[in-house]
Chain A
Amino acid sequence: MPLYTFELRDGSCGIADTAGVKLADRDQALGYAHHVIRELLKGGCDWQTGTWLLDVYEDHDERVFEIPFARLDETLDHLSPSLRSIIEDLRIRSLLLREAYMAARITVREARALVARSRGRPYLAADAGQRTIREDDEVDFSRRRYTAGVR
């Protein structure tokens, strides 16, 4: 059975569940991911939670689903399909903007650290357990690009 892992995209660097779960197929993985999203949305969907995305990966490799929380937000059920679609799109754009801002901040911090290191000066080595100067395979933002047509 394939192993499905998950990454919550909340506008920060992302939170991964790398342990994952073994499920029979992608349909089961989608159902599981929907359950997780509903659990996270339960008790009220604030503006921030409503913008989140949950990515599902198969065997730590291919991203098979990218599910916007807005798609399962019951508080939008009363809206017309066209209006709902606009709201969902706005929420996704809001998240992508926050991710872009976060990526820019990390890059600026890394650039400063690299310059300081090249000049033999002290630099910020790590922040919140994350290395300031990243390895090549540490962050791959291209992998997180939102693609239209995901479920």
Chain B
Amino acid sequence: MLGSVNEKNAFLSELSAAEYAALRSHLAPLELRVGHCLHYLGDTVEEVVFPHCGLVAMSMPLRDNPGAAAALIGRDGLVGALGALAEAPAASDAVVHIAGHASRMSASAFRLVLDEHPSLRRRMARYSHGLVAQSQQNALCHAVHPVEARICRWLLTIQARCAGDKVPLTQSTLAQMLGVRRTTVTLIAGRLEALGIIRCHRGYMQIVNQDELERHSCECHAMLNGYVSKLLAASADGGGAVVVTTTGTGAPPPQPSRRVL
């Protein structure tokens, strides 16, 4: 199933040899530099980017405010795929927050390959569904959860996309992604550091106690991880249906999640 030993992007890695061969000739290397915007809100999406490492935030800017990140894409996904498929303007900025490298291909070639390979299109639809789930979960999280729990959750999310215990983000960048002031992140990071959960360094944060960080995080991290892993497992099984129901006859309603996969 692995397209190439050098490829680290999860979407590419999970393709069959035939699927990967269809994409391969269109792929070109791309360096992801911090601050680089792959596309802006409202722009035509010209290319699809498959990060092998690094982190891209899909951010929604406001008129007088940097806004907040609606979704994060690392080596687990691809940037610009939905816009390219729909030939629609980008629904958000795609800003690189952690440097890395990627493969890219033109939007027109991407559409062509997906038209010729229904299995690839199904995979793409499943991935897009996961991205929508992430955006919905983030919207809920931004709206209702305390900032400390959100910071913990985002540290876990970002750590999962970078190898090791270091999260190479400044507090300022994290604040921008969460849509809060930098001082708020600094004060919460100070509390977490005093509790021995993280250690703050210039330019990065180090996770010292993963279990405690998970305990301080909101439920969104576990919920989304569970959902996406079921989605990927169903995909690996040959595209079987993912059943999402709300059940509980006779028994007390499951809390906090009523999602049964």
Interface residues of A (CB under 8 A from B): 6, 8, 10, 12-13, 15-17, 19-21, 32, 35-36, 39-40, 42-44, 128
Most central of B144, B148, B181 by chain A CB within 10 Å: B181
Least Cβ–Cβ distance between B193 and chain A, in angstroms: 8
Known: A17-B183, A39-B184. 12 other contacts (CB 8 A): A6-B183, A8-B190, A8-B191, A12-B194, A19-B182, A21-B183, A36-B184, A39-B147, A39-B180, A40-B148, A43-B145, A43-B149
Check B194 against A40 for contact (C-beta < 8 Å).
no
Q: Smallest CB–CB gap between A89 and chain B, Å?
A: 24
Q: Does B187 contact A (CB under 8 A)?
A: yes
Q: Judge if B66 is at the interface, Cβ distance under 8 Å.
A: no
Task: Pick from A42, A44, A128: contact of B194, CB below 8 A.
Answer: A128
Over the window 174-207 of chain B, the binary record of Cβ atoms lying under 8 Å from chain A Cβ atoms (1 yes, 0 no) is 0000001111101110110010100000000000
A104 to chain B, nearest CB (A): 18
B-side contacts of A20, CB under 8 Å: 183
Give the Cβ gap from A61 to chain B, nearest Cβ, in Å.
18
- In the assembled complex, the Cα of A43 lies from the Cα of B148 at a distance in Å of 10
Q: Flag if B181 contacts A32 (CB, 8 Å).
A: yes
The distance from the CB of B113 to the nearest CB of chain A, in whole angstroms, is 44
B239 an interface residue at 8 Å Cβ cutoff? no
CB atoms of A40 and B144 under 8 A apart = no
Across chains A and B, which 8 residue pairs bring their CB atoms closest together, nearest first? A43-B146, A15-B190, A17-B186, A39-B184, A8-B187, A17-B183, A39-B180, A43-B145
Assembly CA distance A32 to B184 (angstroms): 10
Q: Determine chain A's interface SS by DSSP, over half rule.
A: mixed
Set of chain A residues within 8 Å of B149, measured between Cβ atoms: 43
Is the pair A15, B191 in contact by a Cβ cutoff of 8 Å? yes
Report yes or no: B186 in contact with A19, Cβ–Cβ below 8 A.
Answer: yes
Residues of B within 8 A of A10 (CB): 191
- When chains A and B are docked, how far (Å) is the Cα of A20 from the Cα of B172? 12
User: CB-nearest residue of chain A relative to B141?
Assistant: A43
Q: Which of A12, A36, A43 contacts B181 (CB 8 A)?
A: A36
Q: Chain A residues near B147 (CB, 8 Å)?
A: 39-40, 42-43
Known A6-B187, A19-B186, A44-B146; judge A39-B194 contact (CB<8 A): no
The answer for the CA separation of A13 and B190 in the assembled complex, in Å, is: 11
**Which residues of the other chain, B, contact A21 by a CB distance below 8 angstroms?**
182-183
B180's nearest neighbour on chain A, judged by CB, is A39
Q: Are B196 and A40 closer than 8 Å at their CB atoms?
A: no
Q: Are A36 and B146 in contact (CB under 8 A)?
A: no
Chain A: which residue is nearest B175 at the CB level?
A39
Please indicate the chain B residues that have their CB under 8 angstroms from the CB of A12 in the complex: 194
- CB-CB under 8 A from B186, the residues of chain A are 17, 19
Q: A21-B183, A32-B181, A40-B184 known; A16 and B190 CB under 8 Å? A: yes
